[in-house]
Amino acid sequence: MDLTCAARAWGRSGRPDGLPGSHHSIEEREGSVGLKEEINTAIAAHSQWKVRLKGAIDTGKLDVPVATIRVDDQCAFGKWLYGDSLPAEVKASPHYTKVRDLHARFHQVAAAVAEAALAGRKAEAEASMGITGEYGRASAELTRAMMDWLTASR
């Protein structure tokens, strides 16, 4: 599945690969699924971007516009974060705020990697993808914050 199709399907299917299956759409899951599943699904989905971006670095091609990658409210997790299913008290919590901010940063950094890859700046994109690179740090910080939110919610 190309990235454009995956990006479109991702929001509909709720699966990181955008394929239909046992996972319900974000709209179906909002009312019946707790924080744990949303965060676990988001961790898996966002980890798939590493694979997608490495492919873009290797090929210089990406079927998702950089502008789409940059926004943080179009993936399933972003729709859930910004949607109406979370009560105001949850959205006022420090965990929510931290995850929301780190999620937005993740999308900005992923878009920067995509831009570099598409412009043929492989070394720059690869450096960002490393553990100590900007993407590597943004991804790790977001994952850590989501896990902390899970732990605090138990």
Query: What 3 state SS string does 53-90 have?
Result: HHHHHHHCCCCCCHHHHHCCCCCHHHHHHHCCCCCHHH
The helix/strand/coil state of 100 is helix
Q: What is the dihedral of CA 113, 52, 29, 5, to 10 degrees?
A: 110
Nearest to 75 by CA among 8, 150, 139, 27: 8
The helix/strand/coil state of 117 is helix
Counted domains in the chain: 1
- 89 belongs to a structural domain: yes
- 3 belongs to a structural domain: no
pLDDT class of 154 with cuts at 50, 70, 90:
confident
Full domain range(s) for residue 123: 34-153
Q: What is the pLDDT of residues 62-114, one digit of tens each?
A: 989 999 999 999 988 999 999 998 889 899 999 999 999 999 999 999 999 99
Q: Taking a C-beta distance cutoff of 8 angstroms, is the pair 79, 11 a contact?
A: yes
What was the pLDDT predicted at 153? 82
Mean pLDDT of 119-127: 97
Residue 21 half-sphere exposure toward CB, CA atoms < 13 A: 9
Mean pLDDT of 106-135: 97
Q: Taking a C-beta distance cutoff of 8 angstroms, is the pair 113, 53 a contact?
A: yes
Q: Which residue has the higher pLDDT, 95 or 8?
A: 95
- 146 belongs to a structural domain: yes
**CATH code for position 139:** 1.20.120.30
- 114 belongs to a structural domain: yes
Mean pLDDT of 122-146: 96
- 109 belongs to a structural domain: yes
Q: Is the pTM of this model over 0.85?
A: no
Residue 97 half-sphere exposure toward CB, CA atoms < 13 A: 5
Indicate whether 144 pLDDT > 50.
Answer: yes
- 21 belongs to a structural domain: no
